[in-house]
Amino acid sequence: MSDKQTITYKIKNQDIELNTYQAELLKQLQDGAPKNFLFKNYFIKKQKGAYLYGKVGRGKTLLMDIFLDGLNISYKKFHYIDLMQEIHKLLEKEKGTKNPIKKIFDKYFSNFRLIFIDEFQVEDIADAMILGDLLMYAIKNNTYLYFTSNAKPSELYKNGLQRQKFLPCIDLIEANTNVMSLKGGFDYRSRNIAEIKESFFETSNDINEFLRKKYGKSFAFNSNYFSNNRNFQISGFVPNELVWLSFKDFFSKPTGSKDYIKICMDFEWVFIDDFNICDDDNNDVIRRFISFIDIIYKEEMKCKFFFNSIKPESLYKGEKLQDLWARCYSRIIEMMDKDFFVKN
């Protein structure tokens, strides 16, 4: 069975229905699919990978998963956040060695014919430089590169500090992938949305009363949460069950992905209240919140938002992080839907 036949068979048997835009892009991906050579052939002109971008919730990851699942070559899929966390861990092990990125690629990535990075984004110059080197070694190794992203390559790390240093990486991506745009006006992440209206109106006192009645003495109000050798003041928690965070307090502190991952490991639910509107003058707060949502969404953690009088779409009023915020907002809306709790 050919790669195209395999993909078609799996779509039919998984009862997946593609819209016009998705079906056309899947065909383009199929036409440019890497061949299943037993050995790398350095004498044949190398085919390009693919960079699929589009607005949030259009089905980019679904489409790429369907395509890759039908290929008969070795590949590795990474969510961007997971990839960077893994790279940083490996860099710690290689500290003090010469050319650590090349050693990491040779040891951990070079055996894969294809690498897929889902929800590709660049948020700081350090990661940008690491990515540039990693992708360069992948291309030299004749490894196919596939990406999904909300932004086209030329808009990656837009308005970022020292962005000119990242431009060669953008050139590398554009030269070695077929850049494709997934159009369509429907947000697939929002298709089962049913707003939980009470989440807009409950006060902190209401939350406190509810948690005390439900958990009794197990609920610790105004407590300290210990994470990665640091103490954070939080609104409350129930061991192994629930943590209650103040948006205004928790995300104004220098928290990071390690803290957010630990929360996912320690609790089943997270409550967030005490929101305030952010703009570009305090975009560090909203950037941390976006990173937090990325992680708890991926980990399928249950979350309840208490926005009070603030509408969730109005939480960020700035310009610099609009692309990241659009994805974050889509996920918040999905997580507010009662069906999200049922499926998880």
Domain ranges of the chain: 3-181, 189-343
Cβ 341 vs Cβ 193: under 8 Å? no
Mean pLDDT of 188-217: 59
Q: What is the DSSP letter of 318?
A: -
pLDDT given at position 3: 47
pLDDT given at position 60: 85
- The percent of residues in the chain predicted with pLDDT above 90, rounded, is 38
CA distance between the termini of the chain: 35
Strand partners, 304: 271
Side chain identity, residue 281:
D
Highest mean pLDDT among 128-142, 173-187, 224-238: 128-142
CA 60 to chain centre: 12
Judge whether residue 35 has pLDDT over 70: no
Stronger pLDDT, 28 or 321, i.e. the higher one: 321
- The percent of residues in the chain predicted with pLDDT above 70, rounded, is 82
Cβ 147 vs Cβ 52: under 8 Å? yes
Q: Which residue has the tokens 């861990």?
A: 89
**DSSP letters spanning 30-71:** HHTPPP--SS--TTSPPPPEEEEE-STTSSHHHHHHHHHHT-
What are the Cα distances from residue 334, in Å, to 246, 299, 330?
21, 14, 6
Strand partners, 227: 230
Judge whether residue 187 has pLDDT over 60: no
Please, which pLDDT band fits residue 202 given cuts at 50, 70 and 90?
A: low
Q: Which two tokens stand for residue 95?
A: 């500290």
CA neighbours within 13 Å on the CB side: how many for 319? 2
Q: Strands 49-53, 302-305: parallel, antiparallel or unpaired by DSSP?
A: unpaired
Distance between CA atoms of residues 259 and 86, nearest Å = 16
pLDDT given at position 18: 67
CATH entry, 3-181, from 1.10.287.610, 3.10.450.40, 2.40.50.100, 3.40.50.300: 3.40.50.300
Please, which pLDDT band fits residue 286 given cuts at 50, 70 and 90?
A: very high
Q: What is the DSSP letter of 278?
A: B
